[in-house]
Amino acid sequence: MPLENFGSILNFAEELESQDQEFYAIAAANPSCSQHKDLFDQFAADAKKNIKHVQRTRRENVTEMILEPIRNF
């Protein structure tokens, strides 16, 4: 995935956070990880908050991400 502008970087960040959330949800549901379930649930909740933050940032800065290309990121 080429990271050429603000929007593509935020899309990449959202994708990573979504994968993190999915991983932690699966780990929390795994019976062999039951002693760390609360920790994994908290990590999944944090990832969900991060996704919302990235989405809000994208919405609030739509003008800047269209106008400014990013090189060599």
pTM: 0.77
Q: 50: closest CA among 25, 26, 15, 23?
A: 15
Mean of all residue pLDDT scores within the chain: 86
pLDDT at 22 over 80: yes
Angle between helix axes 6-29 and 37-60 (nearest 10 degrees) is 160
* pLDDT, position 58: 84
For the residues 32-61, what does the mean pLDDT come to?
93
Count of C-beta atoms within a 10 Å radius of residue 17: 20
